[in-house]
A and B are shown apart, each in its own frame.
Chain A
């Protein structure tokens, strides 16, 4: 237990000390929110979709969670190459605890990041409809953070160095965001596109969060929740298996 706590604490301290990193990572969501939100807002309204900022905000919140989560997991590569992980691995603690501590730490960072972006969306003009469902919204943010940090751990355990990072960003993280329904409704899509959005875990996160915040869920909150939990557990399982195999 102490091991998990101290690993978590380490990550929190590092996060709150890197103000430039926090600030820098808020730039992208704000830009997306303003450019897409106000850029497409009037067309969206004319098409009968309602307020686009309200529709977009949950997607942008989870975008920042997604990027922060994956990046936290991939930081494993730095720790691994520069000894810090080595030092942890020769300590009399199990690798499972190390993996869990790191993943929970990374997920917490991504969660906080998500909450900060949530507050930003409120400033920009987002108005959630069901305040009483706020705890459920927060739960979805946390769940998405955990799921993608676990995926980051999987990637971080497999990649030897940062060379593959660009590949991961372009072929995994970006598609995960753009094909998740964060920017557009999941209804009336071409069949191939629909199939892709359905295997994208982030779709369920966005759908659930949208359901909780503005009452518009395509799959339904309960289904979203169940699928996210299952995928998160699968990623944690694969992550702990691969982490066990890391040679330093």
Chain B
């Protein structure tokens, strides 16, 4: 039996007295599509940050592709691709230049860079727009470009943090069809978060639900529904996490977002 591609054991992250993530354990098998769900402020982003080397855990172990993100950062970084919640493209560069920038950082060789960029941009149907500045792209096009970019170095795992937020159903469907395609062809593991439960139900093979920093349920969509005696994953989710609305404090990123709107107009 192969080692799980992601193995998390008793993972804890404290900010002062507050435990954002406490004693979290789960595993993801290679080639699996795994959804990581939870209400706002449950600890999803903190967990993803620890998995992707952006934050060191307070205690506990992570093994990602048989490497420890806290110890061997570069090794881990080579093995995953990531699509962040906020667009992380450079608006003042073209689609091609964004791809090139990423490929150079991941030390993809010059020849491979060219063919891979072409293949991927064709794959997400952006090849004919390759020389256009990203600021002229729609939200859906940006997402597709980010996915293409995240795949350029052949990652074994792709992290997607709320990848479909603000996208229309057409674009969402399109996006998932690319992703499930790569998942099948290259046996690439997909780890994603979302607030759309029907999306998780349809796409994910296995799900973990986190709340107040703790994992409260894991299993396939069917198992979770059975466990909570509910008909939809949305109901299962609500029965596990309750119906109280979670308020999130505005972070500096939120403040910046509103400032950016002021400067550029809201065209995301």
Contact = CB atoms under 8 A, between A and B. Distances in A.
Contacts of B138: none
A197 B54 CA distance: 42
A100 B210 CA distance: 39
Contacts of A247: 54-55
Contacts of A244: none
Interface string B92-109: 110001001110111100
A83 B133 CA distance: 17
Interface string A143-156: 00000000000000
Interface residues of B, number: 35
Given A83-B87, A92-B107, A247-B54, A10 B252 contact: no
A136 to B, nearest CB: 34
Given A3-B105, A92-B106, A247-B54, A81 B256 contact: yes
Contacts of A77: 256
A53 to B, nearest CB: 36
Contacts of B256: 77-78, 81-82, 161-162
Contacts of B226: none
Contacts of A20: none
A162 B261 CA distance: 13
Contacts of A78: 256
A93 B104 CA distance: 10
B137 interface: no
Interface stretch (A11-19, A41-49, A117-125, A210-218): A11-19
B198 interface: no
B77 A87 contact: no
A51 interface: no
Nearest to A15: B92
A82 B92 contact: no
A19 to B, nearest CB: 12
Contact of A2 (B54, B77, B104, B255): B104
Given A83-B87, A161-B252, A88 B105 contact: yes
A34 B202 CA distance: 68
A14 B93 contact: yes
Interface in B97-126: 97, 100-102, 104-107
Given A83-B84, A162-B256, A247-B55, A10 B105 contact: no
A80 to B, nearest CB: 9
Given A81-B252, A161-B255, A13 B106 contact: no
Contacts, number: 81
Nearest to B100: A6
B259 interface: yes
Given A92-B74, A161-B259, A83 B92 contact: no
A13 B90 CA distance: 11
Given A2-B104, A3-B104, A160-B252, A92 B259 contact: no
Contact of B93 (A10, A86, A160, A248): A10
Chain B CB within 10 Å — which of A77, A92, A93 has the most?
A: A92
A13 B100 CA distance: 13
Interface in A1-35: 2-3, 5-6, 10, 13-14, 17-18
A163 B253 CA distance: 12
Given A6-B104, A91-B102, A162-B256, A13 B97 contact: yes
B107 A2 contact: yes
Given A6-B105, A90-B53, A91-B106, 12 more contacts: A3-B104, A6-B101, A83-B84, A83-B87, A84-B88, A89-B54, A90-B82, A92-B105, A93-B74, A93-B105, A161-B259, A163-B255
Interface of A: 2-3, 5-6, 10, 13-14, 17-18, 77-78, 81-84, 86-93, 160-163, 247-248
Interface of B: 52-55, 73-75, 77-78, 80, 82, 84, 86-90, 92-93, 97, 100-102, 104-107, 133, 252-253, 255-257, 259-260
Query: Which 10 pairs from chain A and chain B are nearest by CB?
Result: A83-B88, A91-B105, A81-B256, A92-B77, A87-B88, A92-B74, A6-B104, A160-B252, A161-B252, A83-B86
